[in-house]
Structures are given as structure tokens and as C-alpha cells.
């Protein structure tokens, strides 16, 4: 499949939509990996439902991206027939789940950004993005509440659960900066009133994260060097392994339908 996401060539709206779609799908796939592995039945259902939310958001975004591209591709083509260098998801999304503490902390850090992001995007001058965002905002509010409660429960729990939350925070923190990046393509859309400026959400994100970490008896990390690259197609080694699993059936049986 020919790449559609060479950053210097892709139209800004298409590139931005694909970045959102890729991030949501990879997050959804990572959460789906907990199916059959969660520590209790209630969390099995909660994580599976969150995964379905992300995958549903990705599906809507890919369908819109296919329309923007105008080459007759489908959402399945965009999800299953691209190689890792053509993906534009956040790096934090593709990292392995690790233990339950790491998974819920990632879910919390991401949802603390996505909830205000979807709220702002719902005011977009682009009617399709606004409609997708209006539905996603409600889902993100639940993800934020659910993950935040677990961060507090584990951080302020036993010595072992506290240790695991501290380790997860140390591992994940340097991947949070990418959520606030904006390049020339983003700036064009920001100026046109199509997408919000992510930097304007940093204060709300930091306030939410700080409050929850304090209640969880976890120290808020200070300024640090941040990982970057996923939005430009530069990924960790983990994405290729994820795609090999996620794309196996469509690539093994091209054109197959249920």
C-alpha cells in the first residue's frame, strides 16, 4: 500500500486526522491485550470497554481520513495495510502494557489530556471532527475517572502497589510531552479554527495530574527531557511487533470478509 503520510506531502487535515486515528487504534489494541489477563472480572470488562471506545473513535477517524484522501480506500485499508514507518501515533500508546499499575497510569495520563482535547475539538469548524469529538468526550470522561481512581487506590495502597506506581510514573513520564507537540501542519489547522492548540491544555492537564498524584501519595515529576518521534513516523521497536499481531489476519488473507 502506498504511503499517504509523508509529512511534507500530506494535507494538514488528513495528517492530523490520521495521527488521531492511529493513536486511538494503538491504544485500543494495547488495552485489548488485557482480555483474559485482568486482575478481576470487573476490570476485564472495564478495560475491554475502554478498548472498544478507542477502536470506535479510530474507526470514525479512519473513515473520515479515507474520505479526505479520496482514493477509494477504506478504514480497514488504513488500519491494516500500512507498515510501521507510516504510522503517526504517540509513542506512549505503543509501549507494552507492563503490569496493571503501568496500564492504568498510562490510561490516566492519556485521558487527562484527551478529555479536555475532545471537549475543545467539539467546537471545531470542521463538522465531522466536531461530531466525533462530542461523542469521544463522554467516553474520555469515564476513562479519566476510572483510571484516576485506580492510580489513587494503588499509589496510596500497599508498599508494593505504591512501588509499582512509582516505577510506572518514572517509565511513562518522559512520553507525555509528545501530546502537546504542534508542527506546521497543526499550526495551520489551529489558525483556521479546526483543531485546538494542545499547549493551551497543558495547565488543565497538569492540574488534574497533580491533584490525583498528590492523593495517590506520588510525587509529581519535575521538568524533564521528553521522548518524541511517533507523530513523525519514528517509533520504538514495539510498534512493529504490535502491528504484526494486529494486522496478521488481513495480511494473511487479503480481501477476506466476515
Task: Report the range of poorest mean pLDDT among 39-43, 112-116, 221-225.
Answer: 39-43
Percent of the chain with pLDDT over 70: 97
Percent of the chain with pLDDT over 90: 88
- Tell me whether residue 176 is in a domain: yes
- 69: cell is 484522501
- pLDDT tens digits along 12-60: 999 999 999 999 999 999 999 999 888 888 888 999 999 999 999 999 9
- Tell me whether residue 5 is in a domain: no
Q: Residue 136 above 70 pLDDT?
A: yes
Residue 78's domain comprises 12-252
- Tell me whether residue 3 is in a domain: no
- Tell me whether residue 2 is in a domain: no
- Tell me whether residue 39 is in a domain: yes
What's the 3-state SS for 44-70? HHHHHHHHHHHHHHHHHHHHHHHHHHC
- Tell me whether residue 257 is in a domain: no
- Tell me whether residue 162 is in a domain: yes
Task: Report the range of poorest mean pLDDT among 37-46, 90-99, 142-151, 214-223.
Answer: 37-46
Give this prediction's pTM. Answer: 0.94
- 223: cell is 521538568
- 227: cell is 521522548
Reported confidence tier of residue 10, pLDDT bands at 50, 70, 90: confident
Average pLDDT taken over every residue of the chain: 94
Q: What does the pLDDT read at residue 41?
A: 86
Q: What does the pLDDT read at residue 233?
A: 96
- 208: cell is 488534574
- Tell me whether residue 4 is in a domain: no
- pLDDT (average), residues 4-19: 80
Number of domains into which the chain is organized: 1
Give CA 148 to chain center in angstroms: 16
DSSP characters over the chain: ------TTTS-HHHHHHHHHHHHHHHHHHHHHTTTTTSSSHHHHHHHHHHHHHHHHHHHHHHHHHHHHHTSS--HHHHHHS--GGG----HHHHS---SHHHHHHHHHHHHHHHHHHHHHHTT-SSHHHHHHHHHHHHHHHHHHHHHHHHHHHHHTS-HHHHHHHHHHHHHHGGGSGGGG---HHHHHHHHTTSS--GGGGHHHHHHHHHHHHHHTT-PPP-S------GGGT---HHHHHHHHHHTHHHHHSTT---
Reported confidence tier of residue 5, pLDDT bands at 50, 70, 90: low
Show the CA angle centred on residue 153, arms to residues 148 and 155, nearest 5°.
90
Kindly report the CATH number assigned to the domain that includes residue 41. 1.20.1260.10
Amino acid at each position: 500500500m502506498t504511503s499517504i503520510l509523508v509529512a511534507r506531502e500530506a494535507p494538514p487535515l488528513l495528517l492530523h486526522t490520521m495521527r488521531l486515528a492511529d493513536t486511538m487504534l494503538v491504544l485500543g489494541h494495547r488495552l485489548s491485550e488485557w482480555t483474559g489477563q485482568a486482575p478481576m472480572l470487573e476490570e476485564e470488562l472495564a478495560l475491554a470497554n475502554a478498548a472498544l471506545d478507542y477502536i470506535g473513535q479510530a474507526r470514525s477517524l479512519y473513515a473520515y481520513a479515507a474520505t479526505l484522501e479520496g482514493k477509494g480506500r477504506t478504514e480497514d485499508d488504513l488500519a491494516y495495510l500500512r507498515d510501521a514507518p507510516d504510522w503517526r501515533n504517540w509513542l506512549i500508546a505503543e509501549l507494552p502494557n507492563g503490569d496493571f499499575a503501568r496500564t492504568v497510569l498510562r490510561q490516566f495520563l492519556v485521558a487527562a489530556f484527551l478529555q479536555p482535547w475532545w471537549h475543545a475539538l467539539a467546537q471545531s469548524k470542521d463538522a465531522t471532527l466536531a461530531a466525533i469529538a462530542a461523542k469521544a468526550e463522554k467516553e474520555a470522561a469515564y476513562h479519566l475517572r476510572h483510571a484516576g481512581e485506580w492510580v489513587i487506590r494503588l499509589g496510596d495502597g500497599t508498599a508494593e502497589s505504591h512501588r509499582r506506581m512509582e516505577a510506572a510514573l518514572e517509565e511513562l513520564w518522559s512520553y507525555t510531552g509528545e501530546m502537546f507537540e504542534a508542527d506546521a501542519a497543526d499550526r495551520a489547522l489551529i489558525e483556521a479554527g479546526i483543531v485546538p492548540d494542545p499547549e493551551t491544555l497543558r495547565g488543565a492537564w497538569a492540574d488534574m495530574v497533580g491533584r490525583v498524584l498528590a492523593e495517590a501519595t506520588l510525587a509529581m515529576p519535575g521538568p524533564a527531557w521528553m521522548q518524541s518521534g511517533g507523530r513523525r513516523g519514528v517509533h520504538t521497536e514495539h510498534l512493529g511487533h504490535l502491528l504484526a499481531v494486529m494486522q496478521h489476519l488481513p495480511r494473511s488473507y487479503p480481501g477476506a470478509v466476515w
